[in-house]
Amino acid sequence: MLFSRLTLSMILTAAAMPALAQRVEPFSLTPNQQKLDPFALTPNHLRRYTECMQLARSEPLKALPVAEKWKGEGGGLGARHCVAIAMFESGKFVPAATQLEAIERDMGADRPGVRAELLAQAGQAWMEANQAENAAAAQSRALDLKPTDVDLWVDRGLSYAAMRAWPRAISDFDRALRIEPDKVEILILRAAAWRNAGDPAKALADADRVLKRAPDHSEALLEHGFALLARGDRNAASADFTKVLKAVPQGSDAARRAELGLRGELPGVAPSPAASRPPNDPRKP
């Protein structure tokens, strides 16, 4: 992924959920693949691209003029991608998203996998800009190119969750689970989505699937407790929250959410999600 992963708590439960993927890493290519990399056409180009991307991640404000200068010298897609990553890392999320989408368009019909990664990165940038509809649109185009990418289904599900389009979010988490059945993080996401959609029974079923394999999983216990609370079973819910409090550090986000549950309160759904992916690879802006 491109940037740091979405803060799931802000989207689904106002609680910290496990990070699922990091799409903002540089392309992972073999030497032979690097020869064909559209972002690194020559050994010198590859060197400059690598150096630029490293600078974009560590000192984005310093990297931006460097990347712009390289772009003016004919740096092509590599320079443009570095510009986009530097923009993202310096908090210029909308320009980063539009730049990433422009790079994808300019690649034409070639390299569908790389184009899907660029669109995934653009989706993350749109989410950082709190523009979930634009994020979902970019992710939908990415899924047309790479329909077997589990992270893309999760990403778009999170965008729909940010829009409170719960049936769509659940559908995307379903698709992700078809690719990676029983993946704990996705089950917890779907449980939270079911609860927010008003179906605590299905939320409990997903949380139970996780707890059968990992009885002490704090995120699953929290979601299990909130689902019980949503259906009115406060005593049983309190047992889950108490178990979490015994297992996590005092003052941690999980502890705060458990304390919220013990007070009989359900987490709200934050209207403005935050996104995160590291930038380097098209999965990271």
Identity at 261, one-letter amino acid code: G
pLDDT more than 70, % of the chain: 79
Identity at 164, one-letter amino acid code: R
Tell me, yes or no, if the pTM score tops 0.75: yes
Mean pLDDT of 232-259: 96
- Please report, for residues 165, 212, 229, the alpha-carbon distance to residue 113 in angstroms, rounded to integers and kept in the order given: 27, 36, 43
Query: pLDDT at position 40, please?
Result: 62
Query: pLDDT at position 38, please?
Result: 63
Q: How far apart are CA 205 and CA 125, in angstroms?
A: 33
Q: Yes or no: say if 192 and 11 are a contact pair by the CB < 8 Å rule.
A: no
- Quick check: 285 pLDDT over 70? no
Query: pLDDT at position 193, please?
Result: 96
Query: pLDDT at position 175, please?
Result: 98
Burial class (CB in 10 A: 0-12, 13-18, 19+), 98: middle
- Quick check: 246 pLDDT over 70? yes
The 10s digit of each residue's pLDDT in 109-165 is 988 999 999 999 999 999 999 999 999 999 999 999 999 999 999 999 999 999 999
In 3-state terms, what secondary structure has residue 17? coil
The 10s digit of each residue's pLDDT in 173-226 is 999 999 999 899 999 999 999 999 999 999 999 999 999 999 999 999 999 999
pLDDT more than 90, % of the chain: 73
Question: Which domains does the chain possess?
Answer: 1-164+269-285 (1.25.40.10), 173-268 (1.25.40.10)
pLDDT, greater one: 121 or 45: 121
pLDDT, greater one: 277 or 38: 38
Q: How far apart are CA 146 and CA 170, in angstroms?
A: 19
pLDDT-derived band at 41 (thresholds 50, 70, 90) equals low
Structure tokens at 72: 């003016």
Mean pLDDT of 14-32: 34
